[in-house]
A = this chain, B = another copy of it.
Amino acid sequence: MTEIRMRGDGYYSTHCSSQGLVIDRALPLILQALDALDPASSGTLFAIADFGAADGGTSIGLLRTLLSELRARAPDRPITLTHTDLPYNDFSALFRLVHGLLPGREHEGLQDLRGVFSFASGTSFHHQIFPDATLSLGFSASAMHWLSRLPATLEDHVHAVTASGAVRDAFAAQAAADWETILLHRARELVPGGQLVFANFCIDEVGRYSGATGERNLFQTLARLWRALHEDGTITSDELHRATFVQYYRTIAEFRSPFDDPASAVSRAGLVLEHCSSVLTPLEQFTEGQDAAAYARICVSSLRAFSESTFLDALEPGRPQTERQAIIDRFYAAYEADIAAAPKAYRREAVHCFMRVSKVV
């Protein structure tokens, strides 16, 4: 298992609050999913999951709305809410948030909601997390671009999205296999009529993706700055090549593929695609007259939250911790300088594929 991890102690959601903007746009799909489940009709448990939730901070607002709506329709129905992520995740920060104990964010806690039982799982969404037929509504945002394994080495890139040829094909194949596996596990977990809502990073119908909607491409810049550390003798060739996001941005067609084929394993498992659309979410942009250095700092904080472990893990484990951290700090400082010099060249826009999926009885 790879040791992918978001930065801990609430750092992730504090510095990725823009992900909350994306997630909040999933609310209509969440409410449609709730309607489809007819929540008031049954006396059984209503089980909600947030797959790949990190510290929970970016989805807590959406979950509060969902839980309040569900509670209004079913005053006495017991609800379980399970946040999932990898074992290295900061689950203590997650529970402190949910229980209203995270300093400065106490008001975001869910402790005032009656009959909601909070749990966490450290099992990857590439595996089955819940027993068969126990999950009512599963949600996941900005998480399923993480692959189960690295299918190939990207020598001149840090992300498959800028690669091409056989190497990119290997990533595409891994992503297709993972997507099928993810969906088949969810099909087993869902109750009949159960619902899934996804907001996954994607490449949209016109080729846009997060980090590549402006003049400059985030991943090309990161590759160039990482290569510069090799060219000046800071990092070895192995370290240069090892820096690879274990990620793949699927196209809309790739997301749809298992649903569009009625003979696919996913279709045969009872999953039906009810909604699929690409959504571009403008995040905070540089505005004329703003302090470019301050803007650059915000951009880098947000980037570090999800990318730092990829670059740290590329470094030789034998290097002393302080040296590793110093290299990484230099790398991000170079990126910060790059943005500060041309703050309008990087558009901060998130590109997601929003989907709602039903499990037919």
Contacts and interface: CB of A to CB of B under 8 A. Distances in A.
Contacts of A130: 117
Contacts of A98: 87, 122
Say how many copies of this protein the assembly contains: 2
**Chain A interface size, under 10 / 10 to 19 / 20 to 34 / 35 or more:** 20 to 34
A130 to B, nearest CB: 6
Contact of A95 (B115, B122, B128): B122
A82 interface: yes
B117 A80 contact: no
Nearest to A133: B78
Interface in A45-104: 45, 78, 80, 82, 87-92, 94-96, 98-99, 101
A129 interface: yes
Contact of A123 (B82, B89, B99, B123): B99
Contacts of A120: 91, 119-122
A327 to B, nearest CB: 24
Nearest to A96: B87
7 contacts: A87-B92, A91-B92, A91-B95, A92-B92, A94-B122, A99-B123, A117-B131
Given A87-B95, A87-B98, A92-B92, 16 more contacts: A78-B132, A80-B131, A82-B119, A87-B92, A88-B96, A90-B92, A91-B95, A98-B122, A99-B122, A117-B121, A117-B123, A117-B129, A117-B131, A118-B121, A119-B119, A120-B122
Interface of A: 1, 45, 78, 80, 82, 87-92, 94-96, 98-99, 101, 115, 117-123, 128-132, 134
